[in-house]
Chains A and B, each alone.
Chain A
Amino acid sequence: MNRLFLFLSLLIGTPAASQSVILTFTHEVNHQPMRPNKAYYTAQGDTFTITKFKYYLSNFSFTDENDQIVKPAPEYFLISEDSAASKKVVLTGLPLGRYKRVSFMIGVDSIMNCTGAQNGALDPIYGMFWTWNSGYIMAKLEGTSPSSRYPDHSLQFHIGGYRGAHQSQRMVQLKVPFIVTAQKTPVINLVADAATWFNGATPIRFSETSGFMTPGTIADRIADNYSHMFSVKTNK
């Protein structure tokens, strides 16, 4: 019977040859912590606040020191400023060893945009799915700005589009050395700076563009901008 218990414990426990990695997310604006109702400035001089900030992450992969690419089981995460739990992502199934890079997609790959009703983080109840023009909102930033041309001075950036000329998924690759051992789960702290949405290669002026809520060129350019929003903070 002893052998049986040993067998069962092996079955229950994670396989000895692989481990997990934890990614945590901190949101900032111009290198300051993101806070509700706090005023920030764009590089163009517009004042703004952020009331909603959320985005999908998917298609994680890791590059080990031998340039082998390791892909954990496909999972989708909705990271949201208003949910502390959402800002911690656990990825399992990494072989023990040294790694040098993490790569992931901001958004939801096209297949999950066109294969019907989804569950979990992709459940449309989270308001990240367009009903009139099917497809996920890959990332959403809402707020206010005196420069906004909307009557309520709001900012409404819903970035999406998964097909044809307007695809808004963006791949991110970050250099981050970490070691997965049988004893320790590495934690990688990533920072997402929301100011990049408006300050990148395509500067956004709120008096001209106070929001964008369809697939289109502006969405593509903002996605280009925010594809640079992540950086590695600490590596424990």
Chain B
Amino acid sequence: MNLKPTYVIMAFCLFLLGISLRGKGPGPGVTYVTLQLPDSLPRPLYDFSKNPLTKEGIALGRYLFYDPKLSRDSSVSCGFCHQQYAAFGHFDHPLAHGVYGRMGTRSVPTLFNLIWQKDFMWDGGVNHLDIQPMSPITAENEMDMPLNELIERLKCNEKYQQLFKAAYGTEEVTSQRMFKALAQFMATMISFESRYDSVKRRVPGVAFTAEEAGGYNTFRQKCAGCHKEPFFTDFSARNNGIPYSPNMNDMGRMRITNNTGDYMKFKVPSLRNVMVSAPYMHDGRFFDIFQVFAMYDHGQEKGSTVDPLVRGMQLSPKEQRQLYMFLNTLTDKHFLQNEDYREVIIAD
């Protein structure tokens, strides 16, 4: 009898705790997931304590990623432009597509190793992985979907009620829950299993050919300053000498910072999976990697913001051929074929 009040109080405290935790973080009964990352990598920038990975959260994110209902006329999903076999870039398309046949102004960036990336988009204008999808979802020439309408649309959908409940404990649909689930799915896109990685890890029987080794040498001398290992980007924005296009009138990061010192600066893309993610540059103007080599060798525009690291770069035909061989070793077939990322077919 003496103990009873204690139990009542304890139960009441648990009840209060339950109230205070409601709507925040994963729901009860979720399966937590830990990413398997090579030990040699630095700690991810993404703060998983604010968005712990769960099987259910990732599943919701994957479903959202492939759902055309995220666009105004239910025709364009994230996965429409971000194709797995192109390392989540857009195969053969220089510019992003949108609803009603609209066309974007920049090429579709590849998606992988995003949890080390400090900012997003070609101009680095988006500062967090969680909110990156807001850009393509609401952009008029991409998915053109106002966020409040999207949340209403998802709320009314039975499948989403189940998926949100599984991931977060209640059926409540909020933009925060949606964005965090998308971020969870994108956080799982990790690519470190190319032949280059096997060579680096000294996997028995795997070695560069003489041509590849020559290309690696050239890469380290002339490319690695910006395309820094192991990510093959230093995540900075730079002017690589690409000529300004009057048609596109895109001056890159200058639009974000209002600083003329950022004229024609674009984010340095990773070279991982580069051979499967053509076309190249922020506006997809080059369909062939040799056009990129040619641009660096003799096609650069002169200007004060052109990065000193690429100014006057010369690439001989031999260096170009060997670079091509080396870049092929950066293709991660395991990533491109990983069933965990495969498209979910959504027909409703």
Contact with B along A10-22 (1 / 0, CB 8 A): 0100000000000
Interface hits, B8-43 → A, CB 8 Å: 8-9, 12, 16, 23
In the bound complex, CA of A114 to CA of B147 (Å): 19
Question: Is there contact, CB below 8 Å, between B126 and A134?
Answer: yes
Question: Is there contact, CB below 8 Å, between B131 and A123?
Answer: no
Identify which of A43-51, A124-132, A147-155, A222-230 touches chain B. A124-132
Q: Is A164 on the interface with B (CB-CB < 8 A)?
A: yes
Identify which of B133-141, B204-212, B238-246, B318-326 touches chain A. B133-141
Give 19 CB contacts A-B under 8 Å.
Answer: A1-B5, A4-B8, A7-B9, A8-B12, A114-B127, A116-B129, A116-B179, A116-B180, A123-B176, A124-B131, A125-B148, A127-B148, A129-B134, A131-B131, A131-B134, A131-B135, A133-B256, A134-B128, A214-B258
Question: Is there contact, CB below 8 Å, between A131 and B139?
Answer: yes
Q: Is B202 on the interface with A (CB-CB < 8 A)?
A: no
Q: Is A166 on the interface with B (CB-CB < 8 A)?
A: yes
Interface size class of B (residues with CB under 8 A): 20 to 34
Question: Is there contact, CB below 8 Å, between B50 and A134?
Answer: no
Q: Is B151 on the interface with A (CB-CB < 8 A)?
A: yes
Interface hits, A110-164 → B, CB 8 Å: 113-119, 123-127, 129, 131-135, 164
In the bound complex, CA of A119 to CA of B172 (Å): 12
Please report whether the interface of chain A is mostly helix, strand, loop or mixed according to DSSP. Answer: loop
Q: Is A216 on the interface with B (CB-CB < 8 A)?
A: yes
In the bound complex, CA of A79 to CA of B43 (Å): 39
Residues in chain B near residue A215, CB distance under 8 A: 258
Interface hits, A197-236 → B, CB 8 Å: 214-216
Question: Is there contact, CB below 8 Å, between A123 and B175?
Answer: yes
In the bound complex, CA of A116 to CA of B48 (Å): 12
Residues in chain A near residue B5, CB distance under 8 A: 1, 4
In the bound complex, CA of A164 to CA of B258 (Å): 11
Q: How far is the CB of B222 from chain A (nearest CB, A)?
A: 32
Question: Is there contact, CB below 8 Å, between B175 and A117?
Answer: yes
Question: Is there contact, CB below 8 Å, between A166 and B127?
Answer: no
Residues in chain B near residue A133, CB distance under 8 A: 125-126, 255-256
Interface hits, B97-138 → A, CB 8 Å: 121, 125-131, 134-135, 138
Instruction: Pick the contact of A115: B16, B50, B121, B255 (CB < 8 A).
Output: B50
Instruction: Pick the contact of A11: B12, B50, B175 (CB < 8 A).
Output: B12
Contact with A along B130-174 (1 / 0, CB 8 A): 110011001100000001100100000000000000000000001
Residues in chain B near residue A11, CB distance under 8 A: 12, 16
